Amino acid sequence: LFDSVLSLPILPDFRLKDLKAECRRSEYGFLLHTKPNLSKTAFAKKAAELGWKGLTEEQLSGYLTGSIDLLFEANGKIWILDWKTDNLAEDAVALHMKEAHYDIQYLCYLAAAKRLLRARLGEGAEERLGGALYFFVRGASAGRGVAVLPYEDVAERVKILEEMLGD
């Protein structure tokens, strides 16, 4: 199973099997701080407008911390990858991403990756950001377990999250 998962073409002309050690960073930890005067109520309201349902004010205070499973370079772009072991029904990736709040998670991951690139490469570094990949291992071998989210498709939502959090 492991070899078949690593051999899948997840991006054009790219398989994880071909990823060189110098082009990846595993378990990249991050900490995103919030604005000092961020209103939890205002954040929860804006989050609801973005379709993030089920969040409470208590879940939105202080810092956002996390660990990106894999940060890597492929085809000249920086990508994040999150491994998932959820059991998925046929063609259920998009719905499951929303129900499990993975849409919030990948925006936080992309905001963290964007800040990392900006710190290392300066302003405009987000042009190197490829996007997010959610890899559902149990469905991948059947060809239904990878969600590819190009950065340009979600850039505006990342920007909104960054504005909500502050610099």
* Residue 91 known to be catalytic: no
Structure token digits, residue 2: 């492991």
Contact (Cβ atoms closer than 8 angstroms) between residue 83 and residue 68: no
C-alpha span between 153 and 4 (Å, rounded): 29
**Residue of 68, 83, 62 lying closest to 115 (CA atoms):** 68
Other beta carbons within 10 Å of 109: 25
The amino acid that residue 114 corresponds to is K
Task: Out of 69, 82, 86, 167, pick the active-site residue.
Answer: 82
Q: What sections of 7-150 are H helices per DSSP?
A: 40-49, 93-99, 102-121, 137-140
Catalytic residue set: 82
